[in-house]
Amino acid sequence: MQTPVMERAPQARLERRRNQLLRERFDAAETLLKPLLGSPESHNGAAFFRAMNRLHAVYPDLSPSEIEALVAAVVRSFQSRTVGR
């Protein structure tokens, strides 16, 4: 005698990211910062400072830590693309 197999209904995926505002602005920030941070040679302190200033001018409602997180995410995105070449 076979026992019926109970199938589980797929659960809704829970969003683990907390700051949705930064996620929504990531694509625009990446486009905005590509001239400053698009090449690995430009990843230095002065370029990061200019990138943070540019984002602050465009998004004055973001806190300094949010701007820093957004710049770091854009840099990681550029770095992952150059490593994969």
pLDDT digits (tens, 9 = 90+) for 33-76: 999 988 888 888 899 999 999 999 999 999 999 999 999 999 99
Give residue 9's pLDDT band: very low, low, confident or very high (50, 70, 90).
Answer: low
What is the pLDDT, as a whole number, of residue 8? 67
Transcribe the chain into DSSP letters.
-PPPPPPPPPPPPPP--S-HHHHHHHHHHHHHHHHHHSSGGG-SHHHHHHHHHHHHHH-TTS-HHHHHHHHHHHHHHHHHHHHT-
Is the distance from CB of 81 to CB of 34 less than 8 angstroms?
no
Is the distance from CB of 36 to CB of 42 less than 8 angstroms?
yes
- In the chain, the largest separation of any two C-alpha atoms, in whole Å, equals 73
